Structure 1
Amino acid sequence: MLSIIKSLSPRQKRTIMLLLDTALVVFALSFAFAVQTLPENAFATMIHYLPVLPYMVATTIGASMYLGICAVRLNSYETGAIGQTAVFSGCLVLASVVFSSIAGLDLPLGVHFVFGVSFFLFSVISRTILLQVLLAIYRRSAPRFRVLIYGAGTTGMQLTSALRGHETIEPVAFVDDNRALQGLTVARLPVFAPARISEIVKTYKIDRVLLAIPSVSPPKQAQIARRLQKMGLEVQTLPSFAQLIGEEALVDKLKPVSSHKFLNRAEVEESLGESVGCYEDRVVLISGAGGSIGSELCRQVLDCRPSKMVLYELSELALYNVDMELRQLAEGTTIEIVPILGSVTDSRQVRKVMNEHGVQVVLHAAAYKHVPLVESNPLSGLVNNVFGTQTLAQQAAKAGVERFILVSSDKAVRPTNVMGASKRLAEFVVQDIAQRIPVGKGPIYTMVRFGNVLGSSGSVIPLFQDQVTRGGPLTVTDPSVSRYFMTVQEAVKLVLQTGSLAQGGEVFVLDMGKPVPIMHLARQVIESAGYTVRDDTHPDGDIEIRITGLRPGEKLTEELTLSGDLVATRHPKIFSAREDALSEIEIATALRGLREAFVASDEVMARDVVMRWVEGFNASRLPAQERHAVRG
């Protein structure tokens, strides 16, 4: 049956409806003759009316085609079509009066009026019945999604009307936050309170929920959607009409605000100046080239016109992306781009790469830097960050490299986490190698220490922006936590400028301004996206900020130096820190202990080594079972 219905052409469908209307005219006339008091019975009256009937049929066909009644789809037969049917009925009444008078039939006006009313009712009822019959056929012939519509307003009602004739979707009920609508019937569907969704889903066997609330802010829609998805429901959102026709600025809503907008200070925008000479016409190796800092190092070094850039990266995808980007940027130049897939802990590969390509400058940005991940995987973090730095620095000396710059972190200062401790040990390694190389006989080693980079992978701004798009909440570990921030562009620019300032063994510290409270930053991200913060003062706000508690190894505030003793340099934003270093014997002992811990796969032993040699890292910050093991 369904295949036959689908095979009908629009012309055939119109013909069927014309035949239906013609049959309804005869039926309505018979009904009018039967219910009215006439000199003769209904059958005899119809016999007298037969000469008029062909004209009525012709009028029916003509008026139906003219008014478009026969072309109205059954699933679109709503208020407008019903009004057209009323006009159609009026035309037939007028035609019946005129033709009956011409034929000399003495019929009371009441007969014509009953005919018109009955035709109108029969027409509406027959089409409603036909629609239900067709829907029943569709339901039996194809699986249907039973949907619950969230929102019984104008959009919800329009959506219901559009779905009523859909082959696979069946609207069964509404839910709405408006208490005035709850308990009512809207568009022939019951309206329930959202609190009853679980009950409704079971009772009505709901498969999908359609959010028809475009006036509600996206964060609140996302919150509703997540709550429904937890019930195992498929959730879809209907855009507003303003969005569909382009009146609403969707791009501004969807495009994340640039990270530098949250810097709360003037960004460093000066050129590299004389520092360009440290990289121009040289072979530059950038480790961790595919990371946030590494890729920006690549871009800015490319502007210095080196002869060759060696991109050293462990992640295949990250290396592919940065390689493709740099090749496009280097078009039209003679700069050679060399992608190397490998680990900085592989001494044979590092030695081969440096000798084969004649590396002259090393920018070491490769590191495992995400605090919670390194805290959960301390051995991997220590091996990569400490031994990787040692391998790269030693091979740089053997290969006759001119400069070696280690990108460090403010978390290396009195670290409370393994990641920070690994960066501090990496600084010790570079300082040790720098002390053992006579001036002018090897690379100029230096370290650059700075804080958080806005917009880098895993940093707080992208996390907050992602949480905003999902409707919140924004998660902050502690109300008092604060951090130093720089944009990746200005951080890299200052790192490259230390190349012309370095004499050997220095720890450079970048001026990052004042620390920024993370709570303030979270509010900025919410408000920059056009939303409001939901808290005790504003319970109707869009997005809340939730306090989750400090993570293992996390500080409330960060420091940039151990002693606070900074020496100014030629650059107003770059300072040199005066800090003690480990002796050759001490660093050798520390590294030997780390190797033994790695071979034994003993995390407690590794933490014990870190606790012994890194100032500020103590057992009170370790988990209870590990503190006991260390002390035992």
Structure 2
Amino acid sequence: MQKLLKKYINLKRLSFLPSWSILFIDIFITTSVALFTFVTFRMIGVDFYDTYPASIRFSIFLGVVFFYFFLFKTYTGIIRYSSLKDATRLSKAIASAFITVVVIDTLHFITQDKHIFVLMTVFFYSIVILFALISFRIFIKTLFKYFAGNEEQPKSENLVIIGVNSTTIALAEAFVNDNTQYKLQFFIDKNKFLNDKKVLGIPVVAKTNSIIAILRYNKIKHVVLIKNFLPEKEELELLEDCLRYKINVYNPKLVSGFDTNVSTVKSLKKYTINELMFRDTISIENPSVISAFAAKTILVTGGAGSIGSEIVNQLAKFNPTRIVVLDQAETPLNSIQLTMSAAFPNVPCHYELVDVTNKGEVTQLFKKYQPNIVFHAAAYKHVPVLEDNFMQAVKVNIFGTKNILDAAIEANTQRFVFISTDKAVNPTNVMGASKRIAEIMVQSRFHTQKDATKMQIITTRFGNVLGSNGSVVNLFEEQIKKGGPITVTHPEINRFFMTIPEACKLVLEAGTMGAGGEIYIFDMGKPIFIKDLAEKMIRLSGKEPYDDIDIVYTGLRPGEKLYEEVLADSSKTLPTYHPKILIAQDPVFCYEKVEEFLFKLNNNTFENKAELIEAFIELVPEFILTPQE
């Protein structure tokens, strides 16, 4: 019989019961047990009140119990993974039902001078029903464990959880209950009082400060680490050590479904390069920032790009009147339209296929929508490409910005946020210089406006963004997939990095600050050597740098410098209320001079890049010629 059952019962193929079926089973058990108990009491001669017929009393009691099943969602758990949480929910439901019946009976006695229920029997009903429901879950759980225990077990891999708290205990429950490839060996904690204690029957090790030594001694290959459980320096060192010794590290905050205690283990995710940047999560909670975008028409240029699309995504959460997404790339524009339609179906979005260099189309678009706020993210940004196509940098980054700026002023736009780059500081390439000229142009234009119609013009300046289009991270990922080598231009080259959501949240925050004319710079943290970034990414992929995947140095590209700066050498900064946002005190140019420069730039035909650079230096004397020039 046992072999026959195992032959036809395959736990891997047996899907989970839907919530409605669990509720139906619970109702069936409750009704059957209550009816059986009632009949038993009748048989032993218990004298029930005849205030109402038995059917009505029975219906009242069951109706109250079922109500609390819904209220406490006792049916949402998965029976084979039932835990103390499920038993607690059932206990609360049954206890609440009993108290409610007592209240109903008491109120009826006060008003009608008659009892409905014999409360002793109701209490007994409740105890027996609770016992039956919990017993059913234990039976199913035991049944699954029995069949799972008799199946051929996959080879398990040792895993350790670092830190003991409610999140990791919930995760540990899943390891204990689920039949997975991992075998939870022990917890590691910093609290030495927990040493040799047990949680869910799992021992806690807290006898040494060297976590990596414990992991290596016990030959652990998988670790779950709570973000910020360790001080930042220790966390970084541990992650570096784990990468070096090929120990996979998982972040429990990335795991979905803790409450269900299922799919938790299966959906464990490794730390990514984003989590290894160690930057605090930024959230927008300032009411003035949120209200600044509510009930507004907002235009985002370059809205289908990596930065622009994230700005659109975040703005949609602030209840704007409408968002106008402008881009010249058809396929990305279609992609963001599909994404936004699915994610924010109630936010009115308009998608305009427009080139910012087409002044007529830009002007017409502003007349059509009359935006209150403009985020200008449209730009060409790839340094090597623009070194060869230098006139496109002039056309898009300078005059495209001018077209948007002029149209915004003419349309009485309230606020204009220009998104710049740290490459504009002491530029060494055409891209950086073109963005610095655009910065000078928008900042000087602010000061020429009349006070009555003054548009607030803000510039935000930050460094490289992880995962953006053309990001070195994306390039490295592709090279790792192909088996290498990874190409780095110079062993000493370093860059500042931010994640896309972090950068965009700071843009939105800075975009509501000040009265206009400011250049805001972001705290980019510490610069990261590109070589170190490449080595981390190789190790995250389970490979070893230089052995499995090589790193090749190709030499600096035209216009590329070893390090980026956020501030010019002569600049000073002022603090703002946000610790990650500062104001750069760059000199403000006279707009007449800027206008004269733009006129000459627009009317000259540059035969080569050297002529263009010579023209740029008139407005950007800090332009640094690299050896390739």
Normalising by the residue count of structure 2, what TM-score does the alignment of the two structures yield? Answer: 0.56
Matching residue's letter, 1:300 = Q
Q: Does 1:451 align with 2:457?
A: no
What residue in structure 2 maps to residue 581 of structure 1? 588
Matches within 5 A, 1:238-317: 258-271=272-285, 273-317=287-331
1:508 equivalenced with 2:514 (yes/no): no
Contact 1:262 1:521 (C-alpha < 8 Å) held by counterparts: no
Structure 1 residues 449 and 330: CA distance shift in structure 2, 3 A: same
Partner of 1:542: 548
- Tell me, yes or no, if structure 1 residue 594 matches structure 2 residue 608: no
CA positional deviation for 1:272: 5.2
SS of match in other structure, 2:503:
helix
Question: What does 1:399-418 correspond to in 2, within 5 Å?
Answer: 399-418=411-430
Partner of 2:365: helix, strand, or coil?
Answer: helix
Counterpart for residue 179 of structure 2 = none
1:499 aligns with 2:506: no
User: What's the counterpart of residue 181 of structure 1?
Assistant: none
Q: Does 1:441 align with 2:450?
A: no
Q: How far apart are residue 258 of structure 1 and its match?
A: 4.1
SS state of the match for residue 309, structure 1?
strand
The answer for the alignment partner of 1:566 in structure 2 is 573
Letter in 2 for 1:616: E
- Corresponding residue SS for 2:458: strand
Report whether the alignment pairs 1:364 with 2:370: no
Give the Cα–Cα distance (whole angstroms) in 1 for the partners of residues 394 and 447 of structure 2.
22
Distance 1:558 1:619, change over 3 A: closer
Q: Which residue of 611, 614, 622 corresponds with 2:617? A: 611
Quick check: 1:318 aligned with 2:332? Answer: yes
Residues 491-527 of structure 1 deviation map (CA, whole Å, 9 limit, x = unaligned): 0000001122131110000111111111111111001
* Preserved contact between residue 606 and residue 612 of structure 2 (Cα < 8 Å): no
- Write out per-residue CA displacement over residues 403-422 of structure 1, whole angstroms, 9 at most, x where no aligned residue: 00000000000000000001
Residue type matched to 2:526 in 1?
K
* Contact 1:280/1:306, CA 8 A, preserved across alignment: yes
Give, in whole Å, the separation in 2 of the partners of 1:372 and 1:257.
32
Unmatched tracts of structure 2, length 5 or more: 1-265
One-letter code aligned to 2:537: V
**Preserved CA contact (<8 Å) 2:428 2:626:** no
Letter in 2 for 1:587: V
* Cα distance between partner residues in 2 of 1:371 and 1:472: 23
Per-residue deviation at 1:612? 2.2
Q: Label 1:258 to 1:324 Cα distance change in 2 as closer, same or farther (>3 A).
A: farther
- Contact 2:356–2:403, Cα closer than 8 Å, also in 1: yes
Structure 1 position 271, deviation (Å): 3.5
Question: Could you tell me which residue of structure 2 aligns to residue 486 of structure 1?
Answer: 498
Cα deviation, 1:203-255, whole Å, max 9, x if unaligned, reads: xxxxxxxxxxxxxxxxxxxxxxxxxxxxxxxxxxxxxxxxxxxxxxxx999x9
Q: Is the 8 A contact 1:379 1:601 kept in 2?
A: no
Unaligned runs of 5+ in 1: 1-250, 535-540, 624-632
Q: How does 1:141-160 map to 2 (within 5 A)?
A: none
Deviation at 1:618, TM superposition (A): 4.1
Give secondary structure in 2 for the equivalent of 1:343: coil
Which of 473, 479, 483 is equivalent to 1:461?
473
Q: Which residues of 2 match residues 179-198 of structure 1 at below 5 A?
A: none
1:403, 1:430 → 2: CA distance?
A: 12
Whether the aligned pair in 2 keeps the contact of 1:259 and 1:455 (CA below 8 Å) is no
Distance 1:441 1:301 in 2: 25
- 1:372 is paired with a residue whose SS is helix
Q: State how far apart, in whole Å, the 2-side matches of 1:430 and 1:569 are.
A: 21
CA contact (8 A) 2:375 2:419 kept: yes
Q: Quick one: distance in 2 between partners of 1:365 and 1:342?
A: 14
CA 1:548 to 1:622, structure 2 compared with 1: closer, same or farther past 3 Å?
Answer: closer
* Deviates most, 361-370 or 342-351: 342-351
Matching residue of 2:365:
353
Once the two structures are TM-superposed, the CA of residue 270 in structure 1 deviates from its matched residue by 4.7
Letter in 1 for 2:340: L
Separation in 1 of the partners of 2:526 and 2:625?
30
Provide the rounded CA distance (Å) in 2 between the counterparts of 1:434 and 1:554. Answer: 31
**TM-fit CA distance, 1:589:** 2.5
Say whether the 8 Å CA contact 1:355–1:399 is kept in structure 2. Answer: yes
Report the AA paired with residue 403 of structure 2: T
Deviates more, 1:265-274 or 1:602-611: 265-274
In the TM superposition, what whole-angstrom CA distance separates every residue of 1:439-490 from its partner, at most 9, and x where no partner exists? Answer: 3523100100000000101011111111100001111111111111110101
Residue type of the alignment partner of 1:481: I
Deviation at 1:393, TM superposition (A): 0.6
CA contact (8 A) 1:401 1:442 kept: no
Q: Deviations over 1:575-611 (max 9, x none)?
A: 00001122223212221222123x5665443222112
After superposition, what is the alpha-carbon deviation per residue over 1:164-188, rounded to whole angstroms, capped at 9, x for unaligned? Answer: xxxxxxxxxxxxxxxxxxxxxxxxx
The normalised TM-score by structure 1 is: 0.55
* Matched-pair contact (CA < 8 Å) for 2:303–2:309: yes
- Which structure has the larger Rg over C-alpha atoms? 1
**Change in CA separation of 1:552 and 1:620 when aligned onto 2, cut-off 3 Å:** closer
- Give the 3 Å change call, closer, same or farther, for CA 349–524 of structure 1 in structure 2: same
In the alignment, the residues of structure 2 paired with residue 417 and residue 427 of structure 1 have an alpha-carbon distance, to the nearest angstrom, of 15
Say if 1:287 and 1:481 are closer, same or farther in 2 by CA, change over 3 A: same
**In 2, distance between residues paired with 1:601 and 1:387?**
19
Q: Secondary structure at the match of 1:319?
A: helix
Aligned 8 A contact 1:394 1:433 in 2: no
Partners in 2 of 1:407 and 1:454 — Cα distance?
16
Q: Please, what is the CA RMSD of the aligned residues?
A: 2.0
d(CA) in 1 for partners of 2:523, 2:567: 11
Identity %: 35
| SS at 1:286 equivalent | strand
Note if contact 2:427-2:624 (Cα within 8 Å) is conserved in structure 1. Answer: no
Sort the Cα spacing of 1:424 and 1:621 in 2 relative to 1 into closer, same or farther, 3 A.
Answer: farther
Q: Give the partner amino acid of 2:590.
A: S
Counterpart contact for 1:611–1:618, Cα < 8 Å = no
Q: For structure 1, which segment, 463-472 or 429-438, has the greater mean C-alpha deviation from structure 2 after superposition?
A: 429-438
CA distance in 1, matches of 2:607, 2:309: 33
Deviation of 1:351 after TM superposition, in Å, equals: 1.3
Residue identity opposite 2:578 in structure 1: H
Letter in 2 for 1:398: E
CA–CA distance in 2 between the matches of 1:483 and 1:512?
10
How big is the shift at 1:256? 9.6
Q: Which amino acid in the other structure matches residue 555 of structure 2? A: G
Deviations 1:38-58 (A, max 9, x none): xxxxxxxxxxxxxxxxxxxxx
After superposition, the Cα gap between the structure-2 partners of 1:542 and 1:592, relative to the gap in structure 1 and judged at 3 Å, is same
Quickly say closer, same or farther: Cα 1:303–1:258, change in 2 above 3 A: farther
Deviation at 1:278, TM superposition (A): 1.6
Aligned: 1:553 with 2:559: yes
State the SS of the aligned residue for 2:304. coil
Q: 3-state DSSP class of the match of 1:501?
A: coil
What corresponds to 1:391 in structure 2? 403
Shift of 1:389: 0.7
Deviations 1:72-121 (A, max 9, x none): xxxxxxxxxxxxxxxxxxxxxxxxxxxxxxxxxxxxxxxxxxxxxxxxxx
Q: Which residue of 1 aligns with 2:432?
A: 420
1:283 partner letter: T
Letter in 2 for 1:382: V
- Distance of aligned partners of 1:459 and 1:417 in 2 relative to their CA distance in 1, 3 Å threshold: same
Distance 1:290 1:479 in 2: 34
Deviations 1:532-569 (A, max 9, x none): 011xxxxxx21111111111111111111113411000
